[in-house]
Amino acid sequence: MKSLDVYVRDGIYTTLVFAVAFAVNLLIQEQMGIWSLVPMIFVLGIFLISLKTQGYFWGILASLSSVFAVNYAFTYPYYAFDFILPESFFSAAVMLTVAIVTSTRTTKIKEQEKMRAESEMEKMRANLLRAISHDLRTPLTSIYGSASVMVENYEELSQPRQIQMLEEIRKDSQWLIRMVENLLSVTRLDGENVQVIKTPTVLEELIDATLMKFRKRYPDQPVTVSIPDQFISIPMDGMLIQQVLINLLENAVLHASGMTELTLAVHTEETQAIFVVEDNGCGIPKDRMEHLFTGYLEHTGAPADGNRNNMGIGLSVCSTIIRAHGGTLRAENRAEGGARFCFSLEMEMDDQ
């Protein structure tokens, strides 16, 4: 299906360029009486067609059509074919050469770009696997260790100690579940033709659902919320945008050492709703800013707050989801201290 779409697109493009070249030549002849520009204009059209279309077919077709057009409409006797003239063979040779050389060069460039893109994708996947292996090892080791201690020393452990270890196992399990959810989202959205199904979502309902889920995980963490008073509807995949907001809030809890304020704010600018999550914690280290949304962060040391370092995975998910919605996730350090993450979504506009 994709190849058919490309074929139709290239055919339409070739027809338009050829028609424009033909019309320009007619106009120049009628208005200026200049004949020498005819072959050059057709050669330019062939070059543009060969440059923008896939393969050799459309470039060669355009060159042959140009030869017929020059012979029929711009060579005496007019509006009649006469291929006896040597100019016709020379024009055909030149135009075919331009088409073949340009198509060959363009094809090679596209193949190189494809190989480069595939290489970058493989590198990103390898980095992601390294990040996953690092981030999953810690909770799995903790779960295994706690379970082993309870099995081997069950009678010696006091009940409070057993409850404490079970609570640690539960927290690690919950963390693993969230990590798997993030990875599934990356897998779902990390294709070339990503399309999310957008449905109108009321902003207030989105924020309420997000905070409800977040407070179940972090009941002791207050969040200051600021949203417009007016009714706002935004086309989106509500579950995915909820995950973005939860991940951003959760990253602040896990990584913003010294944080005392966490804010989720939304404001409007023309046709867009701007979402902002910010804190007054330690901010983002400069060496991490460049790779913040790539899905892999170098684990050069323990996090500032001693929590697991899953920031790279979560923010990669957020960035992928926002890109699929046509936006861009941005991060910066606040001048007054702390970090700020923001993205924008197009609002549903009233046609009336």
Q: What is the pLDDT of residues 318-336, one digit of tens each?
A: 888 888 888 889 999 999 9
Arithmetic mean of pLDDT, 115-131? 69
CATH 3.40.109.10 for domain 196-346: no
Asked if residue 217 lies in contact with residue 243, where contact means CB atoms within 8 angstroms, the answer is no
pLDDT at 203 over 90: yes
pLDDT at 3 over 80: no
CA 218/CA 222 separation, integer angstroms? 9
List where CATH 3.30.565.10 sits in the chain.
196-346
CA 225/CA 39 separation, integer angstroms? 67
pLDDT at 14 over 80: yes
Alpha helices (H) in 153-231, listed in sequence order:
159-189, 203-217
Arithmetic mean of pLDDT, 204-221? 90
**Winning range, highest mean pLDDT, from 13-22, 134-143, 187-196, 327-336:** 327-336
Asked if residue 199 lies in contact with residue 239, where contact means CB atoms within 8 angstroms, the answer is no
pLDDT at 13 over 80: yes
CA 104/CA 100 separation, integer angstroms? 6
pTM of the model: 0.54
What b-and-e string marks burial along 255-289, b requiring 16 or more CB atoms within 10 Å of the CB?
A: bbeebeebbbbbeeeeeebebbbbbbbbbbeeebe
**Winning range, highest mean pLDDT, from 113-122, 174-183, 271-280:** 271-280
Mean residue pLDDT across the chain: 79
CA 200/CA 76 separation, integer angstroms? 64
Query: Worst-scoring range by mean pLDDT, 50-59, 196-205, 257-266?
Result: 50-59
CA 272/CA 289 separation, integer angstroms? 26
CA 349/CA 232 separation, integer angstroms? 9
